[in-house]
Amino acid sequence: MKTSAVFCAALLLCAGASAAPTVTLRVTAQEGTDPKFIAAGEGRVIGFCVDVFRTIERIDPGLIFTGDQQWMPLTRAHSAVVNRQHDAMCAVQHTEERDRHYSFIEPALMPIHYMLVVRAKDKVVIHSWDDVRQLGAQGVVLANRGYAPAEVLAAMGGLRVNDSAVNPETNLQKLIAGRGRFFLHRNPGLASFIARTGASGKVRILPQVMYSSTLHMAIGNHVDPAVTLRVRHAIEQMERTGELARLLKKWA
């Protein structure tokens, strides 16, 4: 009996010695990024990314994400990682600038498809960006400053882009007020975003996908590579077990 107790104690000691250290990763809820982060009332934040954080914590209990119940504008959230005040961002898109500051983890968390939103009574038909270019001054595209689409649109050339607004809610109101012909925003979550902002019946989503991309977990380059690897392993497991697909279906 005594020998068994000693053996069990030795096993526990070895397990403790080999366990990965507990690490806290500072994050934030990014404003205007439905369905990644959604206000649920009484200061509560829900959404795809909140579920991703909790799932990673379940897979690797030594990883703790903190801050996902506090809101921050997307541009400030990026700056916080660059300045080492935060450590990670959930479901963000590659850009050349961001690649300088983050490690983008594979596999991707979700595919996204960018669609054009117009006023409900606008009968315009769009099949490609050339159709938008041909509209000239009557084809102004609203985009969110600091978001990846604004950078993508600028690189395309020949488009009239207004990216003075810093969040999608403002751009939706600008569209309704006639201060732009189109508003470019991503799916999944576009229809629910329009409904939650009270714009249903005032705007419509054009059926053409204008471009597609993927969103990734991004870890600041200042974070220990061993920690980044642990996050990647957890996301790989989420994909392998189907958990990632279930979350995508839940928040689509």
Beta carbons of 71 and 32 less than 8 angstroms apart: no
- 125, 244 Cβ separation under 8 angstroms: no
User: Is residue 96 classed exposed, middle or buried when 0-12, 13-18 and 19+ CB atoms within 10 A define those classes?
Assistant: exposed
Contact 160, 25 (CB under 8 A): no
Q: Confirm if 241 and 135 have CB atoms less than 8 A apart.
A: no
Angle at 24 between CA 22 and CA 29, to 5 degrees: 150
Say which CATH class 112-212 falls into.
alpha beta
pLDDT at 11: 43
Q: Which amino acid is at 146?
A: G
CA angle (191 as vertex; 190, 195 as ends), nearest 5: 115
Q: Percentage of residues in the chain with pLDDT exceeding 90?
A: 74
Confidence of residue 19 (pLDDT cuts 50, 70, 90): low
Mean pLDDT of 21-41: 93
Residue 240: what pLDDT?
98
Contacts of 64 (CB under 8 A, 6+ apart): 22, 23, 24, 25, 57
Task: Map out the domains of the chain as residue ranges.
Answer: 21-110+214-251, 112-212
Phi, psi of 164, rounded to the nearest 5 degrees: -75, -25
pLDDT > 60? residue 17:
no
Q: What is the pTM of this model?
A: 0.82
- pLDDT above 50 for 9: no
For 3-36, b/e burial (b = at least 16 CB within 10 A) is eeeeeeeeeeeeeeeeeeeebebbbbbbbbbbbb
pLDDT by residue (tens digit) across 227-238? Answer: 999 999 999 999
Q: Can you tell me the distance from the alpha carbon of 118 to that of 48, in angstroms, rounded to the nearest whole number?
A: 26
Indicate the class that CATH gives domain 21-110+214-251: alpha beta
Q: For residue 6, what pLDDT is reported?
A: 40
How far apart are alpha carbons 206 and 145 in whole angstroms? 22
Token digits of residue 79: 């700056």
pLDDT band at 1 (very low <50, low <70, confident <90, very high): very low
Q: Which helix (H) or strand (E) holds 185?
A: strand 182-187
Mean pLDDT of the chain: 90
State the average pLDDT over residues 72-94.
Answer: 94
Instruction: With CA atoms as reference, report the closest residue to 103 among 3, 11, 219, 194.
Output: 219
Inter-CA distances, 61 with 147, 163, 212, 230, Å: 32, 41, 34, 11
For residues 204 and 146, which has the higher predicted lDDT (pLDDT)?
204
3 state DSSP class of 57: helix
Averaged pLDDT for residues 181-196: 91
pLDDT of 16 over the 50 cut? no
Instruction: State the average pLDDT over residues 240-249.
Output: 96
Q: What is the DSSP letter of 61?
A: T
